[in-house]
Copies of this chain bind each other. A is one copy, B any other.
């Protein structure tokens, strides 16, 4: 229903820079924020970042958060810097601290697949994003 498997070859220089920056970040980053933080590494134009992001998303190393127009490094269990790839996942996005939790609920995916099957809809990607407050920010 989602995410064709892709090999994850060695990263190019720009891809490694962008991926490294996202891996260090504690919250999603926009492409322009990434660009600003990589000026000293030689990046100058948005396209350099967007092209790297396109590949990283294709490899399954990075996810795009549609409701934020921003990107996060994958934290999938097997999602190290090797050949990582996985199916549909969901994101919980805290609007106070910006933190993002990636999680997989197989029953949710199954249910959506079930709906798609009965309707004849052929999904190739699925977006699931919860917006709200994480536990820390609720109690605080």
Question: Chain A interface (Cβ within 8 Å of chain B)?
Answer: 66-67, 90, 92, 94, 101, 103, 105, 107-108, 111-112, 115-116, 119-135, 138
Contact = CB atoms under 8 A, between A and B. Distances in A.
A129 B66 contact: yes
Copy tally for this chain in the complex stands at 2
Contacts of A122: 132-133, 138
Contacts of A101: 119, 121
Given A90-B115, A119-B134, A124-B132, 18 more contacts: A66-B127, A92-B115, A92-B119, A101-B121, A103-B115, A105-B111, A105-B112, A107-B111, A116-B132, A119-B135, A120-B135, A120-B138, A121-B133, A123-B131, A124-B131, A127-B127, A127-B131, A128-B128
